[in-house]
């Protein structure tokens, strides 16, 4: 266990950690980072999508999470060695014990960080303290699934306060009340296409000095380059047009569609 210099991104917090301790590859701190956090009880659909997200994101960026059971576990397990775990306990304490093997893998192959020095067992408030580091450290935040008035909900509030780009995945009716609220309040965008999301928001950010991948030909965006009327475009593409508008790819101006 060694001391880690506090990253500048954490200085935006009202109470930045006084010290950070780490085990593993500290170079991961300097890479583009994506937080994936959420409920401890994800449904099977969320488990599958979170696995795919973590696997694909880890090819270009580092996945950050809190080491908990549920979504955190899936995010870490599918992104080693490009993952950072923020622990709610000191690094000499394995928490949660159910994730002992995973935590050991992260220590040996990736990076685990704590603001607590020795013999510190998690307290109720230390989970919130951990969450603030997860969010502040990351460049982008993804909430695959979450409940209202939960730990994930507190993380969402921190992400909004810090003006982090927030994303989620589509769900069936009332299957994920927290992410529904984030979408309704326009605090989060929806990931409808994982490859498109990574190409637009992640891989270019990590390849600033390299030629970035071209976004594949998109019929809707190509059609809307000519600023068609909304009714004409909606008749041709239906609800998909509304999805693009919500994602911020298109904008409706005086009943005309324009690309951004």
The span from the CA of 194 to the CA of 21, in Å, is 33
Percentage of the chain lying above the pLDDT 90 cut: 69
Q: Which has the closest alpha carbon to 24: 85, 70, 66, 67?
A: 85
Residues 151, 81, 2, 29: is their CA dihedral positive or negative? negative
Q: Exposure pattern of 183-214 as b/e (b: 16+ CB <10 Å)?
A: beeebbbbbeeeeebbbebbbbbbeeeeeeee
Residue 214: the pLDDT is 37
The span from the CA of 30 to the CA of 139, in Å, is 11
What pLDDT digit, counting tens, does each position of 133-182 carry?
Answer: 999 999 999 999 999 989 899 999 999 999 999 999 999 999 999 999 99
Residue 213: the pLDDT is 37
For the chain, domains (ranges, CATH) are 2-206 (3.40.50.450), 219-259 (no CATH)
What pLDDT digit, counting tens, does each position of 90-144 carry?
Answer: 999 999 999 999 999 999 999 999 999 999 998 988 999 999 999 999 999 999 9
* Tokens representing residue 100 in the block: 């002992």
What pLDDT digit, counting tens, does each position of 58-87 carry?
Answer: 999 999 999 999 999 999 999 999 999 999
Give the predicted TM-score (pTM) of the model.
0.78
Residue 247: the pLDDT is 67
What pLDDT digit, counting tens, does each position of 180-231 carry?
Answer: 999 999 999 999 999 999 999 998 655 443 333 333 457 888 888 888 888 8
Residue 231: the pLDDT is 86
* Tokens representing residue 44 in the block: 């099977």
Average pLDDT over residues 234-257: 81
């Amino acid at each position: 266990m060694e001391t880690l210099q506090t990253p500048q991104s954490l200085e935006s917090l009202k109470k930045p950690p006084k010290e950070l301790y780490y085990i593993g590859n500290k170079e991961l701190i300097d890479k583009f980072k994506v937080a994936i956090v959420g409920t401890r009880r994800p449904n099977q659909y969320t488990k599958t999508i979170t696995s795919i997200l973590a696997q694909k994101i880890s090819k270009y960026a580092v996945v950050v999470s809190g080491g908990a059971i549920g979504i955190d576990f899936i995010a870490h397990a599918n992104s080693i060695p490009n993952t950072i775990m923020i622990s709610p306990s000191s690094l000499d304490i394995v928490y949660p014990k159910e994730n002992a093997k995973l935590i050991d893998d992260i220590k040996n192959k990736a990076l685990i960080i704590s603001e607590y020095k020795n013999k510190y067992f998690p307290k109720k408030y230390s989970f919130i303290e951990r969450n603030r580091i997860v969010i502040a450290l990351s460049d982008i935040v993804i909430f695959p699934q979450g409940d209202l008035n939960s730990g994930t909900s507190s993380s969402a509030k921190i992400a909004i306060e810090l003006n982090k780009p927030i994303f989620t995945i589509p769900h069936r009716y009332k299957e994920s009340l927290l992410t529904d609220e984030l979408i309704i309040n326009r605090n989060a965008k929806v990931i409808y296409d994982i490859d498109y999301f990574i190409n637009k928001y992640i891989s270019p950010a990590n390849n600033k000095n390299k030629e970035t991948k071209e976004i594949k030909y998109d019929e809707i965006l190509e059609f809307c380059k000519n600023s068609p009327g909304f009714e004409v475009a909606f008749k041709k593409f239906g609800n998909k047009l509304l999805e693009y508008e919500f994602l911020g790819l298109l904008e409706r101006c005086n009943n005309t569609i324009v690309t951004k």
